[in-house]
Amino acid sequence: MTEVKIKVRVWDWTVRVGHWSLVGLVVAMVWTAREGHMVAHKWIGLALLTLLIYRLIWGVIGPKSARLLPLLPRPRAVLGYVRKLGQRPYVPALGHNPLGGLSVLALLGLLMFQVGSGLFAVDVDGMASGWFGRFVSFDAGRNIADLHGTSVRFLIAFILLHIVAITLYGILLRANLIGPMVTGDQKRTDVPEDYVPAQVPVVRFIIAVLIAAGAAWLVVSFGS
Protein backbone atom coordinates (compact mmCIF):
# COMPACT_ATOMS: atom_id res chain seq x y z
CA MET A 1 0.00 0.00 0.00
CA THR A 2 1.37 3.42 -0.97
CA GLU A 3 1.84 5.77 1.94
CA VAL A 4 0.05 9.07 1.58
CA LYS A 5 2.28 12.13 1.82
CA ILE A 6 0.98 15.42 3.14
CA LYS A 7 2.44 18.90 2.83
CA VAL A 8 3.87 20.44 5.96
CA ARG A 9 4.90 24.10 6.16
CA VAL A 10 8.47 24.04 7.46
CA TRP A 11 9.83 27.43 6.32
CA ASP A 12 7.96 30.71 6.64
CA TRP A 13 8.08 33.15 3.73
CA THR A 14 10.50 35.56 5.40
CA VAL A 15 13.09 32.81 5.86
CA ARG A 16 12.71 31.77 2.22
CA VAL A 17 12.85 35.31 0.85
CA GLY A 18 15.79 36.06 3.11
CA HIS A 19 17.62 32.92 1.98
CA TRP A 20 17.41 33.71 -1.71
CA SER A 21 18.06 37.40 -1.10
CA LEU A 22 21.30 36.44 0.63
CA VAL A 23 22.28 34.45 -2.44
CA GLY A 24 21.68 37.42 -4.72
CA LEU A 25 23.40 39.91 -2.43
CA VAL A 26 26.51 37.74 -2.01
CA VAL A 27 26.81 37.33 -5.79
CA ALA A 28 26.38 41.09 -6.24
CA MET A 29 28.87 41.80 -3.46
CA VAL A 30 31.57 39.64 -5.06
CA TRP A 31 30.92 41.00 -8.56
CA THR A 32 30.99 44.68 -7.57
CA ALA A 33 34.24 44.17 -5.63
CA ARG A 34 35.95 42.47 -8.57
CA GLU A 35 34.72 45.08 -11.04
CA GLY A 36 35.69 47.98 -8.79
CA HIS A 37 32.17 49.34 -8.28
CA MET A 38 32.91 50.24 -4.68
CA VAL A 39 30.03 52.64 -4.10
CA ALA A 40 27.54 49.95 -5.11
CA HIS A 41 29.57 47.42 -3.11
CA LYS A 42 29.22 49.61 -0.03
CA TRP A 43 25.44 49.84 -0.34
CA ILE A 44 25.08 46.14 -1.07
CA GLY A 45 27.08 45.46 2.08
CA LEU A 46 24.61 47.60 4.01
CA ALA A 47 21.67 45.67 2.54
CA LEU A 48 23.39 42.42 3.50
CA LEU A 49 23.98 43.69 7.04
CA THR A 50 20.33 44.69 7.36
CA LEU A 51 19.17 41.27 6.20
CA LEU A 52 21.56 39.50 8.56
CA ILE A 53 20.36 41.56 11.53
CA TYR A 54 16.79 40.69 10.63
CA ARG A 55 17.68 37.00 10.41
CA LEU A 56 19.39 37.05 13.80
CA ILE A 57 16.37 38.71 15.40
CA TRP A 58 14.00 36.34 13.61
CA GLY A 59 16.16 33.50 14.91
CA VAL A 60 15.07 34.52 18.40
CA ILE A 61 11.44 35.61 18.02
CA GLY A 62 10.41 33.83 14.81
CA PRO A 63 8.70 30.43 14.43
CA LYS A 64 10.38 27.29 15.74
CA SER A 65 11.96 26.27 12.43
CA ALA A 66 13.62 29.70 12.17
CA ARG A 67 15.12 29.66 15.67
CA LEU A 68 18.92 29.65 15.86
CA LEU A 69 19.51 28.52 19.44
CA PRO A 70 18.40 24.91 18.75
CA LEU A 71 21.03 24.79 15.99
CA LEU A 72 23.93 25.10 18.43
CA PRO A 73 26.25 22.09 18.05
CA ARG A 74 25.41 19.03 20.15
CA PRO A 75 28.04 16.36 19.43
CA ARG A 76 25.75 13.46 20.37
CA ALA A 77 22.97 14.64 18.07
CA VAL A 78 25.40 15.21 15.19
CA LEU A 79 27.00 11.78 15.59
CA GLY A 80 23.60 10.12 15.86
CA TYR A 81 22.44 11.84 12.71
CA VAL A 82 25.59 10.85 10.78
CA ARG A 83 25.06 7.19 11.74
CA LYS A 84 21.48 7.30 10.45
CA LEU A 85 22.57 8.62 7.07
CA GLY A 86 23.26 5.05 6.00
CA GLN A 87 19.71 3.90 6.77
CA ARG A 88 17.14 3.62 3.99
CA PRO A 89 14.77 5.11 3.27
CA TYR A 90 16.22 8.42 4.36
CA VAL A 91 13.69 10.56 6.23
CA PRO A 92 14.47 14.31 6.12
CA ALA A 93 14.22 16.27 9.34
CA LEU A 94 11.44 18.76 9.89
CA GLY A 95 13.51 21.89 9.51
CA HIS A 96 17.28 21.73 9.82
CA ASN A 97 19.02 18.46 10.58
CA PRO A 98 22.03 18.65 12.96
CA LEU A 99 24.55 19.00 10.11
CA GLY A 100 22.36 21.54 8.35
CA GLY A 101 22.08 23.52 11.58
CA LEU A 102 25.86 23.69 11.90
CA SER A 103 26.04 24.82 8.28
CA VAL A 104 23.57 27.65 8.91
CA LEU A 105 25.49 28.91 11.96
CA ALA A 106 28.81 28.71 10.13
CA LEU A 107 27.42 30.58 7.13
CA LEU A 108 25.89 33.31 9.29
CA GLY A 109 29.18 33.65 11.15
CA LEU A 110 31.18 33.99 7.93
CA LEU A 111 28.72 36.52 6.53
CA MET A 112 28.75 38.60 9.71
CA PHE A 113 32.55 38.68 9.69
CA GLN A 114 32.56 39.62 6.03
CA VAL A 115 30.09 42.47 6.51
CA GLY A 116 31.61 43.57 9.83
CA SER A 117 35.12 43.79 8.41
CA GLY A 118 33.78 45.64 5.38
CA LEU A 119 32.40 48.37 7.63
CA PHE A 120 35.93 49.35 8.72
CA ALA A 121 37.90 48.48 5.57
CA VAL A 122 39.92 51.22 3.84
CA ASP A 123 40.96 51.11 0.18
CA VAL A 124 44.63 51.39 -0.83
CA ASP A 125 44.25 55.07 -1.74
CA GLY A 126 41.97 55.80 1.20
CA MET A 127 39.20 56.96 -1.13
CA ALA A 128 36.85 53.94 -1.01
CA SER A 129 36.24 53.07 2.61
CA GLY A 130 33.56 51.21 4.49
CA TRP A 131 30.87 53.06 6.38
CA PHE A 132 33.02 53.24 9.54
CA GLY A 133 36.40 53.46 7.80
CA ARG A 134 36.92 57.01 9.05
CA PHE A 135 36.84 55.81 12.64
CA VAL A 136 40.06 53.78 12.29
CA SER A 137 43.58 54.69 11.21
CA PHE A 138 44.67 54.16 7.62
CA ASP A 139 46.96 51.27 8.57
CA ALA A 140 44.27 49.60 10.67
CA GLY A 141 41.78 50.06 7.86
CA ARG A 142 44.16 48.50 5.35
CA ASN A 143 44.76 45.51 7.64
CA ILE A 144 41.02 45.04 8.00
CA ALA A 145 40.63 45.34 4.22
CA ASP A 146 43.17 42.52 3.78
CA LEU A 147 41.16 40.36 6.18
CA HIS A 148 38.02 41.32 4.29
CA GLY A 149 39.54 40.19 1.02
CA THR A 150 40.85 36.93 2.49
CA SER A 151 37.67 35.99 4.33
CA VAL A 152 35.55 36.21 1.20
CA ARG A 153 37.53 33.28 -0.21
CA PHE A 154 36.52 31.17 2.79
CA LEU A 155 32.93 32.34 2.34
CA ILE A 156 32.88 31.34 -1.33
CA ALA A 157 34.51 27.98 -0.55
CA PHE A 158 31.92 27.29 2.13
CA ILE A 159 29.06 28.22 -0.20
CA LEU A 160 30.42 25.84 -2.84
CA LEU A 161 30.67 23.10 -0.21
CA HIS A 162 27.07 23.84 0.76
CA ILE A 163 25.96 23.44 -2.87
CA VAL A 164 27.87 20.14 -3.17
CA ALA A 165 26.21 18.83 0.02
CA ILE A 166 22.72 19.73 -1.26
CA THR A 167 23.50 18.02 -4.56
CA LEU A 168 24.70 14.85 -2.82
CA TYR A 169 21.58 14.79 -0.63
CA GLY A 170 19.50 14.87 -3.78
CA ILE A 171 21.49 12.21 -5.64
CA LEU A 172 22.40 9.76 -2.87
CA LEU A 173 19.53 10.21 -0.42
CA ARG A 174 16.83 11.40 -2.84
CA ALA A 175 16.14 14.29 -0.51
CA ASN A 176 14.94 17.49 -2.16
CA LEU A 177 16.31 20.28 0.02
CA ILE A 178 15.82 23.08 -2.50
CA GLY A 179 12.09 22.62 -3.08
CA PRO A 180 11.01 23.35 0.52
CA MET A 181 13.17 26.50 0.53
CA VAL A 182 11.17 27.67 -2.50
CA THR A 183 7.64 26.61 -1.57
CA GLY A 184 8.05 26.40 2.21
CA ASP A 185 6.43 22.96 2.23
CA GLN A 186 7.86 19.51 2.80
CA LYS A 187 6.03 16.33 1.79
CA ARG A 188 6.00 13.75 4.58
CA THR A 189 4.21 10.62 5.69
CA ASP A 190 4.87 11.24 9.38
CA VAL A 191 4.20 14.49 11.24
CA PRO A 192 4.47 14.83 15.03
CA GLU A 193 1.14 15.63 16.64
CA ASP A 194 2.60 18.65 18.43
CA TYR A 195 4.23 20.10 15.30
CA VAL A 196 3.23 23.71 14.61
CA PRO A 197 3.51 24.81 10.94
CA ALA A 198 5.84 27.77 10.36
CA GLN A 199 3.93 31.04 10.39
CA VAL A 200 4.78 34.74 10.47
CA PRO A 201 3.41 36.52 13.56
CA VAL A 202 2.71 40.02 12.25
CA VAL A 203 3.75 41.96 15.37
CA ARG A 204 7.03 40.05 15.72
CA PHE A 205 7.73 40.51 12.03
CA ILE A 206 7.23 44.28 12.30
CA ILE A 207 9.51 44.41 15.35
CA ALA A 208 12.26 42.52 13.53
CA VAL A 209 11.97 44.72 10.44
CA LEU A 210 12.02 47.95 12.47
CA ILE A 211 15.10 46.91 14.44
CA ALA A 212 16.97 45.83 11.30
CA ALA A 213 15.98 49.00 9.42
CA GLY A 214 16.90 51.11 12.45
CA ALA A 215 20.34 49.52 12.58
CA ALA A 216 20.86 50.31 8.88
CA TRP A 217 19.77 53.91 9.47
CA LEU A 218 22.30 54.25 12.31
CA VAL A 219 25.09 52.92 10.10
CA VAL A 220 24.29 55.46 7.38
CA SER A 221 23.88 58.27 9.91
CA PHE A 222 27.20 57.70 11.65
CA GLY A 223 29.07 56.60 8.55
CA SER A 224 28.11 59.46 6.22
Query: Could you tell me if residue 37 is inside a domain?
Result: yes
Confidence tier at 52 by pLDDT (50, 70, 90)? very high
Query: Could you tell me if residue 156 is inside a domain?
Result: yes
pLDDT in the model for residue 2? 53
Give percent of the chain above pLDDT 70: 98
pLDDT in the model for residue 1? 47
Average pLDDT in the chain: 91
Q: Which structural domain, as residue segments, surrounds residue 183?
A: 6-223
Compute the distance between CA of residue 132 and CA of residue 207 in angstroms, rounded to an integer.
26
Is the entire prediction scored with pTM above 0.85?
yes
pLDDT in the model for residue 203? 97
Handedness of CA 138, 144, 147, 153 (dihedral sign): negative
CATH of the domain at 154: 1.20.950.20
Average pLDDT over residues 50-77: 93
Query: Could you tell me if residue 18 is inside a domain?
Result: yes
pLDDT in the model for residue 128? 80
Query: Could you tell me if residue 182 is inside a domain?
Result: yes
Average pLDDT over residues 95-124: 93
Q: Which residue has the higher pLDDT, 2 or 54?
A: 54
Average pLDDT over residues 17-21: 97
Query: Could you tell me if residue 125 is inside a domain?
Result: yes
Query: Could you tell me if residue 40 is inside a domain?
Result: yes
Query: Could you tell me if residue 51 is inside a domain?
Result: yes
Confidence tier at 4 by pLDDT (50, 70, 90)? low
Confidence tier at 139 by pLDDT (50, 70, 90)? very high
Average pLDDT over residues 138-147: 95
Number of structural domains (the chain) is 1
Say if residue 66's pLDDT is above 60. Answer: yes
Query: Could you tell me if residue 1 is inside a domain?
Result: no
Mean pLDDT lowest for which of 2-16, 53-67, 198-212? 2-16
pLDDT in the model for residue 45? 96
pLDDT in the model for residue 93? 82
